[in-house]
Amino acid sequence: MEEAIAYLYKKDPVFEQISQQYGVPVQPKRPQGFRTLVLLILEQQVSIDSAKATFNKLITAIPNFFPEVVIHFSEENFRACGVSRQKTKYIKALSQAILSKELDLDCLAYKTPELVREELIKIKGIGNWTIDIYLMFCLNSLDIIPLGDIAVVNTMKELFDIHTKEEMEIYAQKWKPYRSVATYFLWHYYLEKRGRKITY
């Protein structure tokens, strides 16, 4: 990460300004596997804290949190844990894909980000944002820019005065091959400026 930070300082002075103002960001890490993907599904379009609260209810209700157990948990029980009907379908689709061997999560660590995306995008309810975060947090992919993330988009609007995702994609090319680390800086700025702390 130090090499990436030094590289970004040279490429774009904004990163050094962020670190002078708020310090250097941490690299978020989560374990690979089923549990993390379920948590990411829960995090879609809601706050991390809210999703974690729901996830904690779910793993309390299902102590053996494996696809073969989760797939038989009823919709009513999911709802009692605070999971929407749609996200229940997504979690069950993920469980089914693993059980049917359509998806082998252990093998993803040995594949390129492009192949990981190809495999995960086939699962109902797993879109590019979820894949981006899994690649960054779990598979240590260093060159991802998650433009489906509202905090990233809003921070780029504020810091660079660019307003479309197409322009953001083009602008972020200068941060290659460390766009993930650039993203950690953008999140860090977004949260620190608002006085918010998040444990990934």
Tens digits of per-residue pLDDT, 142-199?
A: 999 999 999 999 999 999 999 999 999 999 999 999 999 999 999 999 999 999 888 7
Does the pLDDT value for residue 47 go beyond 90? no
Q: What does the pLDDT average to over 95-105?
A: 97
What one-character DSSP code corresponds to residue 139? S
Instruction: Tell me the pLDDT of the chain averaged across its residues.
Output: 96
pLDDT above 80 (res 107): yes
Q: State the pLDDT at residue 76.
A: 97
pLDDT value at 200 more than 80: no
What is the structure's pLDDT at 198? Answer: 80
> How confident is residue 20, by pLDDT bands cut at 50, 70 and 90?
very high
> What does the pLDDT average to over 2-7?
95
Task: Please give the pLDDT value at position 118.
Answer: 96
What pLDDT, in 10s, does the model give residues 58-77? 999 999 999 999 999 999 99
Determine the Cα–Cα distance for residues 19 and 15; give it in Å rounded to an integer.
6
Share of the chain above pLDDT 70, in %: 100
Backbone dihedral region for residue 140 (phi beyond 0: left; psi -120 to 50: alpha; all else: beta) = left
- pLDDT band at residue 130 under the 50/70/90 scheme: very high
Q: Which of these, 101, 102, 108, 107, lies nearest to 130 by C-alpha position?
A: 108
Residue 51 has pLDDT above 80, yes or no: yes
pLDDT at 32: 97
CA 91-95-99 angle, to 5 degrees, is: 170
